[in-house]
């Protein structure tokens, strides 16, 4: 999708290299999901309607090939995860160290303008450990002043010092790779 759609998302006509600040609302129908596999089965953990109208302050500068963001971040509560199986949910929350780190934090740093490979650079903090990732993104207009932003990437649990969960004395083991999908429905405040 063309990056001009992102400019429409921000609802402001942008002059090159001018800093723009606005506030958006992350709508309740936004979702966050983790998908993974074990040596026995696949699993999915989701947060549905866990954003509850959270505000997202957006500050950015648009350059020729990239849009750079400053202090544009949101959080996801580990407690809101539902894996549709109470044991998997419990094990995933424990692996994510929910007690010590109840939030996963996502800070948007930049978005590339490459139409054939659109990437969003983010600083992601899970279980107290931060890593830089490039997430694929797409955006679509849902209605006037409302857009759906999809972000997707694969993470290695051990990048965040997370030991992949296991069960039944190690007979069932979760793979180190987790796919993360974030769907933010955002609108102008």
CA atoms of 46 and 67, how far apart (whole Å): 29
Q: Which residue has the higher pLDDT, 48 or 172?
A: 172
Residue 21 has pLDDT above 90, yes or no: no
Nearest one of 100, 93, 103 to 165, comparing CA atoms: 93
Q: Is the pTM of this model over 0.85?
A: no
Helix (H, G, I), strand (E, B) or coil at 77: strand
* Structural domains in the chain, sorted by start: 4-11+18-188 (2.40.128.110)
Residues 6+ apart with CB under 8 A from 99: none
Contact 31, 46 (CB under 8 A): yes
Residue 19 has pLDDT above 60, yes or no: yes
């Amino acid at each position: 999708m063309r990056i001009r759609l992102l400019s429409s998302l921000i609802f402001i006509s942008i002059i090159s290299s001018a800093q723009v600040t606005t506030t958006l609302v992350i709508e309740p129908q936004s979702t966050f999901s983790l998908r993974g596999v074990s040596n026995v089965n696949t699993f999915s953990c989701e947060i549905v309607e866990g954003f509850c109208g959270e505000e997202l302050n957006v500050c950015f500068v648009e350059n020729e090939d990239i849009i750079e963001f400053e202090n544009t971040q949101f959080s996801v509560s580990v407690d809101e995860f539902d894996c549709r199986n109470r044991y998997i949910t419990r094990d995933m929350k424990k692996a994510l160290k929910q007690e010590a780190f109840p939030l996963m934090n996502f800070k948007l740093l930049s978005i590339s303008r490459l139409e054939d490979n659109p990437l969003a650079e983010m600083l992601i903090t899970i279980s107290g450990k931060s890593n830089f990732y490039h997430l694929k993104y797409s955006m679509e207009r849902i209605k006037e002043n409302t857009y759906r932003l999809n972000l997707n990437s694969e993470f290695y649990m051990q990048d965040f010092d997370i030991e992949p969960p296991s069960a039944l004395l190690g007979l069932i083991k979760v793979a180190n790779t987790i796919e993360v999908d974030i769907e933010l429905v955002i609108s102008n405040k």
